[in-house]
């Protein structure tokens, strides 16, 4: 079930490009599309250390963190990300990761499972369309959008 724009207005998302990655265009398009769909978006931009995602999530009482990586080193940059969130008191935050997450050609199912094992709730392959991300957010955050504790 899709959330209404009003319900999405109760949800804060932190977006950004992790690590030494400068590929900002796709992340900016995603952030703008999410804002257009009614979500509150805190866009950190490119070259963002993992710690800055966590700090921004704490400061804004975010419901989810959406991490992008296009330079293929996301697996290194995202190691320990869930643990960092737990240590900061964000054990229930929803974590998404997407982009070109590994170097070389690898089966997406294998890549996805590695990120899920790292504690991400969802991992999205290169070329994921914005409506797919919105649907996932609607599904995963419906309780928070209605003001209930997830």
Q: 74-98: per-residue pLDDT in tens?
A: 999 999 999 999 999 999 999 999 9
- Residue 23 lies in domain: 5-142
Whole-number pLDDT of residue 1: 77
Residue numbers annotated as active site:
21, 23
Concatenating the DSSP letter of every residue in 66-107 gives EEEE-SS-HHHHHTTHHHHHHHTT-TT-EEEEEES-SSS---
- State how far the Cα of 138 lies from the Cα of 86, in Å rounded to an integer: 23
> Is 147 a member of any domain?
no
Q: Check if the beta carbon of residue 39 is closer than 8 Å to that of residue 10.
A: no
* Tens digit of each residue's pLDDT (9 = 90 or more) over 30-71: 999 999 999 999 999 999 999 999 999 999 999 999 999 999
> Which CATH number fits the domain that encloses residue 69?
3.40.50.280
Residue 148 lies in a domain: no
Instruction: Report d(CA 68, CA 90) in Å as an integer.
Output: 19
Task: Tell me whether residue 13 is in a domain.
Answer: yes
| First-to-final CA distance of the chain | 17
pTM of the model: 0.94
């Amino acid at each position: 079930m899709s959330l209404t724009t009003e319900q999405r207005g109760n949800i804060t998302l932190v977006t950004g490009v992790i690590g030494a990655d400068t590929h900002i265009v796709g992340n900016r398009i995603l952030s703008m599309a999410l804002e257009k769909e009614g979500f509150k978006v805190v866009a950190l931009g490119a070259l963002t250390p993992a710690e800055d995602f966590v700090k921004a999530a704490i400061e804004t009482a975010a419901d989810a963190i959406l991490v992008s990586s296009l330079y293929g080193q996301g697996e290194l940059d995202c190691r320990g990300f869930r643990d960092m969130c737990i240590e900061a008191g964000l054990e229930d935050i929803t974590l998404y990761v997407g982009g070109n997450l590994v170097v070389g050609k690898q089966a997406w199912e294998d890549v996805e499972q590695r990120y899920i094992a790292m504690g991400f709730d969802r991992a999205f392959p290169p070329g994921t369309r914005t409506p797919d991300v919105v649907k996932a957010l609607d599904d995963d955050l419906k309780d928070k959008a209605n003001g209930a504790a997830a």
